Amino acid sequence: DAMVIQNPRYQVTQFGKPVTLSCSQTLNHNVMYWYQQKSSQAPKLLFHYYDKDFNNEADTPDNFQSRRPNTSFCFLDIRSPGLGDAAMYLCATSPGRGPAYEQYFGPGTRLTVT
Amino acid sequence: QQPVQSPQAVILREGEDAVINCSSSKALYSVHWYRQKHGEAPVFLMILLKGGEQKGHEKISASFNEKKQQSSLYLTASQLSYSGTYFCGTNRGSGNTPLVFGKGTRLSVIA
């Protein structure tokens, strides 16, 4: 089945220790998104890619970076995680960019910062 | 600007109906609906576009009132599997502006 895969599902890191979360997709979608979701809150968009065109949300902290080496893979790098970065990180894909396209979400990576 | 959802939470018995609302203070071009079960990823339910076009789930219905800048999701004859948090996402333009999600409505269906 075509899908969005995130690894790992659970990640524990220490305060200030860099961490990378990964996302892969077999849907061959042009658009990939990274969201941060804290407990009982809405998903908050961090970045999105349209092909290799990178779009950073204005309020995404500089501590967060992303890479998309090819259509299938996307990475979220947190350079110096703080306690406030503990959250669920969701990757999503979409066949196009714009209001008419639905998003397909991966299962998420739950990040714990100790 | 984040859309406002109401109610924040609702408890239903199996077979009962529910309506979840999503409203914005700004003109909308589209409204998306997603359901997220606890510990799982959000799942796409429906898109409603300005002008009346819809796509999505056969068993779920929704409306989009462009003038009032609001959308409603109708869940009829609820089943236990309907439990979860429902998010609306809104898009203000026809271009490439990303969705902004509301805070969600937690729906619990009990036997």
B33-69 per-position pLDDT tens digit: 999 998 888 999 999 988 777 777 667 889 998 888 9
Residue type, B66: E
Q: What confidence tens digit (pLDDT) does each residue in A28-37 have?
A: 999 999 999 9
Confidence at A43, pLDDT banded by 50, 70, 90: very high
Asked if A75 is an interface residue toward chain B (Cβ–Cβ < 8 A), one would say: no
Where do runs of H (alpha helix) occur along chain A? none
Strands B42-49 vs B9-13: parallel, antiparallel or unpaired: unpaired
CB A114, CB A14: distance < 8 Å = yes
Do A107 and B43 make contact, defined as CB atoms within 8 angstroms?
no
Do B101 and A43 make contact, defined as CB atoms within 8 angstroms?
yes
Query: Which residues in chain B are contacts of A101 at CB distance < 8 A?
Result: 47
- Starting at the edge strand that comes first in sequence, how are the strands of the sheet with B61-65 ordered? B4-6, B18-23, B70-75, B61-65
Nearest to A102 among B47, B96, B103 (CB): B47
Cα separation, A6 vs A50, whole angstroms? 19
Nearest to B44 among A40, A41, A104 (CB): A104
pLDDT at B98 (0 to 100): 82
- As given in the structure block, the two tokens for residue B71 are 């959308």
SS3 readout for B63-76? EEECCCCEEEEEEC
Nearest to A98 among B41, B42, B94 (CB): B94
